[in-house]
A and B are shown apart, each in its own frame.
Chain A
């Protein structure tokens, strides 16, 4: 009886493998012009389903533009986009699919660190460079034991840097001495930022008077906010991964009569936050690597929204940054010979003062993090983002 099972499983497995092979054959059918494929793994469904729609059209437009200008050194680019369902397992599977089936030369994504960490190993093993967009955990490019992932890069700054700068700004510029933390304990991004904020803030002499937590997907924060109100904190640090959390917390703080300044990180820097809780967040501080209000993006934003009916946000910009970094690396590789994944990787590693979409970027060869990324300190005035100042690392 067992034998029978195996034979039917085998048949079925064969059938499926055939199906897979067929799809892969049709997908990789021979092409006449030379094409370089670039993968983009992003979130079109699941909890982070707002990341994909704001970035995919921008990336496609940019690829079209390059191709319209004749491509790079005779190569046309092709962007292949896959959905991760906002799940790590899917992110891993699609990365392998891009590498093995689509034979991409480089991959853009993912946008969150929990997927970035296992994907870094895949990049190394397959020797295909991956440029993460907003995965800001230290261990995405450098493993826990301190080893560099040679094929993993990113275009955003890392959590320690942002947390450090936030604490510095709060203590020295805002004169805050008592701060409260409201942490999404299920999000490595938030936990990391808050940890580094706390370390530097207490080092400077400040005091963390309340440390509250919640879990991803929660919508109810009044119990925590009521406690923060009692604690006498002057600043509420809530660098949530999704803007929904900060928007809801601000609304609920108002409902509780809690007047407190919010401070948050780049995860919530999207126009939707203002629609959700603009008046309640008046005066809030949000640190980012890039601002949509910068005059140089105004034209892009208007054109993007008119063309695609979606507002551009940080994921659009970081997606473009990653794509342009890869574009630069391909150009460099073509200059030197063939644009192989390894050549692209080498060019990425030695990037120096390259103008990307948001800023000039120099890649740190030791960590694969961008160097000298400016940190923008934004505030909200009359439900609009206003740039307060630019924080340059020493």
Chain B
């Protein structure tokens, strides 16, 4: 069942990265189209640790996430200090991620480490398998849930709803946004690391704008202020193109139309504003099962 394994692994990696975007975009209301850059940072960093320094891959994954998270301050601190919002922040993250890709494309080696520029970083030990990914996804969902239900998470939601009001209530805007960005980049970094250990190969061409906007789409499809939503849609976005692959050229067209249709008929996303709970899932399933006429 290698193929279904592959789909689940790729979807799992996508889910972890999408959870990161969900915390930043879905909860804190900061629009990012640059998460591919954080994935690249985490991916390369953890791969280098394992391949060149023989670090065990679990701490290496965490270190990769940490590295991506810390690097996010380079863009986060100045951007939040000058209160960049909306499209401004989106383009700044895009610029950041493109800059990282350009640097990777131009870097043949860092000291004795041959990152290979456009050739890609090869012979990374292949540690990612189905169980590693499932474990990582479970932990990622657990910690994301812990975060959004904590006081910090509530502060994030407050900022996402109304920044001015949040500030008046005593929320430290700069610190809270930086924290959300840090966690978000950490998730992306870990996802990038898993990707590298799965392909045993990393190339700057993996981390394009397309990757970032796929992640963003997963969050918006899945629903704002929801974790379960992005998890489900991140899975679908990987799996559905796989199922639709027989349609070849038509696939991306259908994908595009679906974007519009979902936005119009279910603008809050599949699970918008709904926290994880069983009632909702049940209601949703029952509504699906009922005959069309009754809906």
Contact = CB atoms under 8 A, between A and B. Distances in A.
Interface string B160-182: 00000000000000000000000
A5 B276 contact: yes
Nearest to A3: B278
A83 B243 contact: no
A151 to B, nearest CB: 15
B283 to A, nearest CB: 11
B4 A17 contact: yes
Nearest to A147: B123
A191 B205 CA distance: 14
A186 interface: yes
Nearest to B247: A83
A157 B85 CA distance: 51
A100 B3 CA distance: 6
14 contacts: A1-B277, A2-B141, A5-B228, A7-B281, A16-B239, A88-B199, A93-B7, A97-B6, A114-B203, A118-B200, A121-B126, A139-B122, A191-B118, A213-B106
A188 B245 contact: no
Interface in A21-70: 23, 44-45
A325 interface: no
Contacts of A139: 119, 122
A302 interface: no
B6 A2 contact: no
Nearest to A93: B6
Interface string A96-118: 11011100000000000110011
A55 to B, nearest CB: 14
A45 B255 CA distance: 13
B286 to A, nearest CB: 13
A248 to B, nearest CB: 20
B203 A13 contact: no
Interface string B71-100: 000000000000000000000000000000
Interface string B1-24: 111111110100000000000000
B206 interface: yes
Interface of A: 1-2, 4-9, 11-13, 16-17, 19-20, 23, 44-45, 81-83, 85, 87-90, 92-94, 96-97, 99-101, 113-114, 117-118, 121, 126, 137, 139, 143-145, 185-188, 191-192, 213, 215-216
Contacts of B264: none
B58 interface: no
A191 B117 contact: yes
Contact of A100 (B1, B126, B275, B281): B1
Contact of A45 (B105, B249, B276): B249
Interface residues of B, number: 52
Interface of B: 1-8, 10, 102, 105-106, 117-120, 122-123, 126, 138, 141-142, 145, 199-201, 203-206, 210, 227-228, 231-232, 235-236, 239, 241-243, 245, 248-249, 251-252, 275-278, 281, 285
A97 B276 contact: no
Given A4-B278, A12-B232, A82 B249 contact: no
Contacts of A4: 276-278, 281
B276 A1 contact: yes
A329 B16 CA distance: 43
A2 B138 CA distance: 10
Given A16-B239, A139-B119, 17 more contacts: A4-B281, A5-B276, A9-B232, A19-B243, A20-B4, A93-B7, A99-B2, A99-B3, A100-B2, A121-B126, A121-B201, A126-B2, A186-B118, A188-B118, A188-B119, A188-B120, A213-B106
A87 B210 contact: yes
Contacts of A187: 118
A121 B106 CA distance: 26
B213 to A, nearest CB: 13
Contacts of B142: 2
Contacts of B232: 9, 12
Contacts of B210: 87
A1 B281 CA distance: 12
A348 to B, nearest CB: 22
A17 B118 CA distance: 36
Closest 4 A/B residue pairs (Cβ):
A100-B3, A4-B278, A8-B281, A96-B6
A275 to B, nearest CB: 23
Contact of B278 (A7, A90, A100, A143): A7
Nearest to B245: A82
A92 B248 contact: no
B123 A145 contact: yes
A232 B248 CA distance: 48
